[in-house]
Amino acid sequence: MPKSPINFQVNAGDGQARAGVLRTRRGELETPVFMPVGTVGSVKATRFEQLEANDLDARIILGNTYHLWLRPGIETIRACGGLHKFIGWDRALLTDSGGFQVWSLGDLRKISEEGTEFRSHVDGSRQFLSPEVSMDIQAALGSDIVMVFDECAPGQAPSNEARQSMELTARWASRSRQRFDVLQSEGLDTGRVEGTTLTGAQALFGIVQGASHMDLRRESLNRTVDIGFDGYAIGGLSVGEEKSVMWEVVGEIGPLMPVDRPRYLMGVGTPEDLLAGVALGVDMFDCVLPTRNGRTGQAFTSRGKVNIKNSQWTTDTRPLDEACHCSVCQRHSRAYLRHLYMSGEMLAGILLTHHNLAFFLDTMRRVRQSIRSGKFTQFRQEFTDMVNSGAD
């Protein structure tokens, strides 16, 4: 078998749900996997030691091309030896391409065939991002999995507009692939790893677009697979459309994606969403929910969401989640966490974020076990019933 940048083996299935192992040049991870988001090179409010600790044990985190390019800048990160060395993390890193972030700037950006012109949110300077620039940046960052530069159509875009966007994404995917291959052959990947059974190079994932139009989604998938990537993502979802639309798209496209490559549903979602995605054959997820909601006082638990601001927790000495084994639930009460939050203490966000990440990551561990033992459907039902029973 020829060496590749990653190796993916599905070793169990239950319905369309599948469990496997993704080997990257920086270690193995079991799928389905949830990837904590570290936009600017920091999973917010979380030390890397905690990400590595047993109760989280995150094997892969995300970084963001757009944010890191604007600040601290690629020259800085290259001078510091690439993103892994810069942030002090030697497990796997996936970087988003910047396409979604530029798209979310709305009227501040102008799209052409060549790429996207926009104004920096940091200093207002005029910037230009294209497939080639995004690949250059991600090579300098040295992430282990690189995403193509895509154009995200608005969730409710009419068919002709969504078609133009999808076709542009397809042309950009092709340009991304070409530039990426040149960069790899020229050794411009800052994160290159020698002496592994893999190639040691970066992996490149394609992204399927097409808004809510099934014909466009199928065409996008075909055109992306024709180019050929190490993995395939579904993009342009969880951007304001109805949830039913999202699941319709994933239900249609998921089973059509190559079975021998990881399938990544970008930007999704709640714990229930993760399970719904797994049920449709998705292997990888990322979302800011556990970190963002942690900072705003919301905990995810096996009995549903806990709003720590609620006065009912004032003297409640129970942990956030009595079924949780994380270091926060082993030590701290709802009463204390509420006090920290009401007092504006940073420790509130630190601890709630940690618990939320632990809950997401542990849920995925349990998902994998249930798939391996052929009990995923049962697990999902019990999980959902428990979440809906409500925290007391």
> Which residue in 158, 171, 346, 389 binds its own copies (CB under 8 A)?
346
Cα atoms in the Cβ-side hemisphere of radius 13 Å centred on 358: 24
Minimum distance from CB of 351 to its own copies (Å)?
A: 7
Q: Does 379 bind its own copies (CB under 8 A)?
A: no
CB crowding 10-47: b at 16 or more within 10 Å, else e: bebbbeebbbbebbbbbeebbbbbbbbbbbebbbbbbe
The active-site residue, picked from 14, 273, 286, 362, is 286
| 3-class DSSP state of 276 | helix
**Using the rule CB under 8 A, is 49 a contact of its own copies?**
yes
With binding defined as CB under 8 A, does residue 259 bind its own copies?
Answer: no
Structure tokens at 380: 């999902």
Strand runs labelled E in 41-97: 60-64, 92-96
96 belongs to the catalytic site: yes
Instruction: Using DSSP, state whether 223 is helix, strand or coil.
Output: helix
Q: Which of 139, 154, 160 is nearest to 74 (CA)?
A: 139
Does the footprint of its own copies cover residue 360 (CB under 8 A)? no
Question: Which of 332, 355, 368, 380 touches its own copies by CB under 8 A?
Answer: 332
The residues, any chain, with a CB within 8 Å of residue 352's CB and separated by 6 or more, are 293, 294, 295, 297, 298, 299, 308, 320, 328, 337, 341
Cβ contact 327:350 at 8 Å = no
Q: Is 321 a catalytic residue?
A: no
CA-CA distance, 266 to 237, in Å (whole number)?
A: 7
- Choices 6-14, 55-63, 235-243, 348-356; region in contact with its own copies by CB under 8 A: 348-356
Q: Does 350 bind its own copies (CB under 8 A)?
A: yes
- The one catalytic residue in 14, 55, 96, 189 is 96
Q: Which stretch binds its own copies (CB under 8 A): 26-34, 281-289, 327-335, 373-381?
A: 327-335
For residue 76, the minimal CB distance to its own copies (Å) is 6
Which strands make up the sheet holding 27-31, listed edge to edge? 7-14, 17-24, 27-31
Shortest reach from residue 9's CB to its own copies, in Å: 32
What's the rounded Cα separation, in Å, for the pair 197 and 190? 19
According to the binding rule CB under 8 A, does residue 355 interact with its own copies? no
Q: How far is the C-alpha of 273 from the C-alpha of 347, rounded, in Å?
A: 28
Please pick, from the candidates 152, 266, 340, 367, the single residue that binds its own copies as defined by CB under 8 A. Answer: 340
* Position among 24, 46, 165, 356 found at the interface with its own copies (CB under 8 A): 46
Among 156, 298, 307, 327, binds its own copies (CB under 8 A): 327
Nearest-approach distance from CB 348 to its own copies, in angstroms: 8
Cα gap 323→85, rounded to integer Å = 36
Other CB atoms within a 10 A radius of the CB of residue 332 amount to 18
Instruction: Scan residues 305-324 and list those touching its own copies (CB under 8 A).
Output: 314-315, 317
The radius of gyration of the chain from alpha carbons, rounded to an integer in Å, stands at 21
Residue 368 found at the interface with its own copies (CB under 8 A): no
Using CB under 8 A as the binding rule, whether residue 339 contacts its own copies is answered as yes
Tokens read off for 111:
């799209």
* Binding segment toward its own copies, per CB under 8 A, in 135-143, 162-170, 345-353, 376-384: 345-353
In the chain, the DSSP E strands lie at 7-14, 17-24, 27-31, 33-36, 60-64, 92-96, 109-111, 116-119, 126-129, 145-147, 203-208, 231-234, 263-265, 284-287, 298-301, 304-307
Selected range binding its own copies among 174-182, 281-289, 344-352, 355-363, rule: CB under 8 A: 344-352
Interface positions, 3-42, toward its own copies (CB under 8 A):
40-42
When the beta carbons of 179 and 295 are compared against its own copies, the nearer one is 295
Q: Does 79 bind its own copies (CB under 8 A)?
A: yes
d(CA 323, CA 389): 14
Binding test (CB under 8 A) with its own copies, winner from 88, 228, 255, 390: 88
Assess 343 for contact with its own copies (CB under 8 A).
yes
Residues that bind its own copies (CB under 8 A): 40-42, 44-49, 71-72, 76, 79-81, 85-88, 295, 314-315, 317, 327, 331-333, 335-336, 338-340, 342-343, 345-347, 349-351
Q: Which of the residues are catalytic? A: 96, 286
